[in-house]
A and B are shown apart, each in its own frame.
Chain A
Amino acid sequence: MLGAPKGRYIMSLKTSRRDFLSAGLMVPVAGAASNFGLLQSPDKRPAKAADGPAKLDYRVLGSTGVRVTTVGFGCMITSDPSVIERAADVGINYFDTARGYQHGNNERMVGAALGARRKQLILSTKSDSGNKASLLKDLETSLAELKTDYVDIWYLHGKDKPTEIRDDMIEAQQIARQQGKIRFAGMSTHALPLMAEWTVQKRAFDVVLTVCNFAIDKSMDDAIAAVAKTGTGVVGMKVMAGGFRDIKPSNPLYSKLQRDGAMLAALKWVLKRPDMHTTIPSMTDMDQLDENLRAMAEPYSAGDDKILSAHLEQIRPLYCRFCGECDGACAKGLPVADMLRILTYADGYRQFALARERFQELPVQHTSVRCGDCAECTVQCPHGVQVAERLTRAQELFA
């Protein structure tokens, strides 16, 4: 299993995990944005020079060789095709949908919006079917709805355990590729730390679509790096972090996050990683599109770091950085870091069964401890994680 974090590791927004060299090329696209800004809000800064076109940042999607804009377009909740049309016009070249989104309506809308531009763009869709026949049937439907004779990337959708991927599903992708109906095989997952080792060994996928945001832990960080190192293309989703996901425009916090630039900062944070080849933030309107375009035109700054640090403060009580400072600190001898990691499987990656299995594998002298029996917790996390509360939750869920 990759990502069993041991030893010291402090996640810092200010100090990047690796040497985040500038991997992208800032490429102005002549003519891509005629009339760009016509629908601009006067208080928004567009992602373009005063008189020039939008600035686009490209990377190569692993060994596929495909050149993609670092900001792609997640079409899932887009309701008006004009936003997709404009994104394509200004130069975003990667668009993502799935067979299951809105019972197929999303693919239909995306196909209509891209229209004649389709062959100049990179288009991906997904199927969550569980066998070869259903997958191939889904692909035929996807091609019809998207009004195309091929998709560039076809993902097995939402696979969070290696056992969820059978050989005949990989065979379906191979058949589709031989028939020219897909260019590349992909797999999407919310639990890359649980999938990375298998993915690296199996080498069945050209592209992996994974969660990546400023709130990820070391296990996810390592998993992304390990997969990218093999030449697999890596696409980031949930790039605004889970903390933003449920905040809707009607919520005052939504405006605050936008005003503060938190969403833009979160996207820029992901783009710092050279092993993250592109991203698919959801966009519902022109304003979000304009803001996301800025992520390609502006570098991650100290100001962005400050914004995200402030947001991390809000989730600090839940968020273990796996720095190892707590090792040996528990009066009852609990392996605190291991237990918090196990809890992350459940709360972070939604793998409750796996989390319980891992918990039950701990020695009985650990699984039988109840933190509520201690008058005071001896573990003081230097990063503010409320250790006793988190361990109590693990004991309630798994013991």
Chain B
Amino acid sequence: MKSFLLFWISLVAAAAAGAQDYLTCSFVPGWEQSGAKRSFTPDNLFDYRDGAAEGYLIFSFARMQGIDCKSGGVTLAIDVSDMTDADSAYGMFAANRDTSQPIAKIGMGGQLLSQSLLFAKGRYFVEIVETEGGIDQTTVLQSFADKMLPLLEGRDTPPEALQWFPPENLISERLVPESVLGMKILKRGYVAKYARGQAFVVIEDSPGAAADTMQKLRARFGAAITPTMLGDEGFSAKVQYLDGICVFRKGRYVAGYANLPDASQAAARSAQLFARLP
């Protein structure tokens, strides 16, 4: 049985071309590998993450390599996921971090808690989790991250889009991989949650594509909209579920605010966002 598992894992690992075989528990003295390394692709991630695998696939998951490290009675599960590009890796991090806790400067962004460390660097999303939940492991978690960071290629600054959102009363920012604001028309974009309301920026391929999206939005909201003089074109409305909303286009960006008490507040906040967009 064990030999078969090893055989299978080696098959999968071979199939996952490009997967980096750098993971080792000896990053930190006193830690030893427990069991075989694991490797997953989009086809078999369900074996490991079950239904949660969908949350990886939606962020362009390409492959994962993992290892369990043991010291005394403590086990750390370390998993490194290749998310295809840096934006998706950061998006995965932002979707999984605890929004009530601060982000640390680890790679593009990280979150160090007593039993877990999540961070993104380049196209990689890293999870180090103490599997049974015991004593505070922050020192050990940080030590593993310190050793791994230089081995992970790629960007260590957050996506530029995060700088576009006005910082006042900002709670969290994330990449929504499909259906921003729950609308299929807004395919993929960044969303910032505020103490009140949320802002969004969808980056289309061209100004023409962005204009098409605006046209579809106008058709969707119908008679509820009022034209707003903002950017190349814009409108505001008060609609169910999104409350006061303002949407504008600036070149290839479709952006705005939603879930504010009324449309005029959404328009006022949108003007601040407009000023920060490139």
Q: How far is the CA of A397 from the CA of B133 in the complex (A)?
A: 37
Let me know if B28 is at the binding interface, CB within 8 A: no
> Chain A 40-61, CB within 8 Å of chain B: the 1/0 string?
1110000000000000000000
B67-99, CB < 8 A from A: 95-99
Q: How far is the CA of A100 from the CA of B220 in the complex (A)?
A: 35
A-B pairs, top 5 by smallest CB distance, nearest first, are: A285-B179, A158-B50, A80-B182, A82-B241, A83-B182
> Chain B 156-194, CB within 8 Å of chain A: the 1/0 string?
000000000000000000101111111110011001000
Pair A80/B179 contact, Cβ less than 8 Å: yes
Let me know if B8 is at the binding interface, CB within 8 A: yes
A86-B241, A285-B184 known; A158-B51 Cβ under 8 A: yes
Let me know if B27 is at the binding interface, CB within 8 A: no
Note all chain B residues with C-beta closer than 8 A to A77.
54-55, 58
Let me know if A327 is at the binding interface, CB within 8 A: no
Note all chain B residues with C-beta closer than 8 A to A397.
8
Let me know if B44 is at the binding interface, CB within 8 A: yes
> Which secondary structure characterizes the binding site on chain B?
mixed
> Chain A 254-274, CB within 8 Å of chain B: the 1/0 string?
000000000000000000000
Let me know if B240 is at the binding interface, CB within 8 A: yes
Let me know if A284 is at the binding interface, CB within 8 A: yes
Q: How far does the Cβ of B44 sit from chain A's closest Cβ, in whole Å?
A: 7
Q: How far is the CA of A245 from the CA of B55 in the complex (A)?
A: 12
> Chain B 200-226, CB within 8 Å of chain A: the 1/0 string?
000000000000000000011100100
Chain B residues engaging chain A, CB cutoff 8 angstroms = 1, 4-5, 8, 42, 44, 46-47, 49-52, 54-55, 57-58, 95-99, 116, 118, 132-133, 174, 176-184, 187-188, 191, 219-221, 224, 239-242
Q: How far is the CA of A30 from the CA of B180 in the complex (A)?
A: 30
Pair A245/B219 contact, Cβ less than 8 Å: no
Q: How far is the CA of A288 from the CA of B221 in the complex (A)?
A: 17
Pair A350/B44 contact, Cβ less than 8 Å: yes
Pair B55/A76 contact, Cβ less than 8 Å: yes
Q: How far is the CA of A324 from the CA of B242 in the complex (A)?
A: 55
A91-137, CB < 8 A from B: 98, 100-106, 108, 126, 128, 134, 137
Q: How far is the CA of A297 from the CA of B241 in the complex (A)?
A: 24
Note all chain B residues with C-beta closer than 8 A to A128.
50
Q: How far does the Cβ of B35 sit from chain A's closest Cβ, in whole Å?
A: 14
Q: How far is the CA of A352 from the CA of B10 in the complex (A)?
A: 13
Pair B180/A80 contact, Cβ less than 8 Å: yes
Q: How far is the CA of A105 from the CA of B171 in the complex (A)?
A: 14
Let me know if A39 is at the binding interface, CB within 8 A: yes
Q: How far is the CA of A336 from the CA of B176 in the complex (A)?
A: 46
Q: How far is the CA of A237 from the CA of B53 in the complex (A)?
A: 14
Note all chain B residues with C-beta closer than 8 A to A246.
42, 57
A65-97, CB < 8 A from B: 76-80, 82-83, 85-86
Q: How far is the CA of A79 from the CA of B193 in the complex (A)?
A: 12
Q: How far is the CA of A158 from the CA of B219 in the complex (A)?
A: 43
